Amino acid sequence: MGKVKNQHYVPRSYLKYFSNNKEQVWVYDKEINKFFNTNIANVAAEKYFYDIPFEEIYNILPQKDREKINDIMKEGNFASIQELEKSGKQIIEKFFAENIEGMFEKALNKIRVSFNMMSSPFYSQVLSKKDRIQLSLMLALQIVRSKEFRESHSESIQSITQAIVDVIASSHEDEYELGSITAKAQYEFESLEHADIILSDFPIRLAEILSSHIWFVGVNQTKLPFYTSDDPVVKRAHKHHPFLGTDGYGSPGIEIALPLSDQLILVLVEREYHSLLSFWENRFIPLTNKQNIIYYNSLQVYQSNRQIYCSKRSFKLINEMKRTEGSLERKPRKMVVNSFLGKNIY
């Protein structure tokens, strides 16, 4: 695999199911407030998004830390930091391209093919326990690989840093106003921090929570197509608490969805709160009311980082949302990764 310049955080193998035969997709870009048509190669991607700048990091380290890295390079037979960087700079891009995206495509295609092959698919079994275990990890990795996850994590670090400053300042000054002293987190290498999360056990623990939910596949029976976006795994809290966060992937009442094509959507719901839906578990369920499609498409619009995708220029919903809400640009979303342990990751 050669050096990859344009790196996708949503796989093209997934995006093609929201495009035409020539892999052209309709896009609404919230940042520039425009609709346009383009190839899937041009969306949900960024130049060198996952690349780790080893040399830049090395150059700002204290001398004692550089010496430790020099020892590591000697053990690995690397003659210089440039040689190390050449070897490992695109480790995350290679991880997804060579190990994950093929499995993700195969797992999702199994659902799509099953629906197309069945003469009477509705309420038929579609997902086995093995399918769910594999898909849980694929979904977890799609969640953590996205640009939205990276930006939310960065915002969370900034928020925590500011909170610490406020606590310290308040303890020294009774009349201190929160935020009057601003702090900026030292977060210079987002791709390195992002890589650390992707390659940790965090996606595995997230997958364990996802696999515990009730799963079913909704089948769009309306003329409205499903949207997807640059952050396609969306969620909604159906249960609320005055003090505790309730929109984590493991929170009571949570609903999680991933569109699979214009016609199919994978839905996961927390088991206890949504117990009445257990009858639908692992089955194809017809969605005949267009409000169901509008509901899931709205989640894609709200929770996308920047862009929404559709195989047709079917953006009436977005125009209506723009009229009622004004700008649809991304709003900062705070995310505390460690709160996952309480099954409340968001």
Distance CA 335, CA 231 (A): 15
Q: CA-CA distances (angstroms) from residue 143 to 22, 51, 149, 210?
A: 27, 18, 7, 11
Segment 188-203 shows an average pLDDT of 87
Tokens 């610490």 sit on residue: 164
Extract the tokens encoding 201.
């056990």
Distance CA 239, CA 171 (A): 36
Does 84 have pLDDT greater than 90? no
pLDDT of amino acid 343? 47
Q: CA-CA distances (angstroms) from residue 240 to 237, 246, 254, 273, 290?
A: 7, 6, 10, 12, 26
pTM listed for this prediction = 0.87
Segment 13-26 shows an average pLDDT of 93
- Mean pLDDT (the chain) is 87
Strand-pair partners of 220: 287
For the chain, the C-alpha Rg in angstroms (whole number) is 22
Helix (H, G, I), strand (E, B) or coil at 28: strand
Domain boundaries, the chain: 98-342
Distance CA 296, CA 286 (A): 14
**Phi, psi at residue 186, to the nearest 5°?**
-80, 95
The residue among 340, 133, 314, 160 whose CA lies nearest residue 227 is: 314
Determine the Cα angle at 174 with ends 170 and 179, to 5°.
40
| Residue 341's pLDDT band (cuts 50, 70, 90) | very low
- Judged by average pLDDT, the poorest of 14-28, 82-96, 199-213 is 82-96
pLDDT of amino acid 181? 82
Give the dihedral of Cα atoms 337, 343, 345, 346; nearest 10 deg.
Answer: -170
Q: Which residue has the higher pLDDT, 166 or 285?
A: 285
Q: Which long-range contacts (CB under 8 A, 24 or more apart) does 193-198 make?
A: 193/153, 193/154, 194/50, 194/92, 194/149, 194/150, 194/153, 195/50, 195/52, 195/91, 195/92, 197/144, 197/153, 197/337, 198/92, 198/95, 198/141, 198/144, 198/145
Q: CA-CA distances (angstroms) from residue 20 to 87, 200, 210?
A: 37, 37, 31
CB 51 within 8 A of CB 90: yes
| Residue 60's pLDDT band (cuts 50, 70, 90) | confident
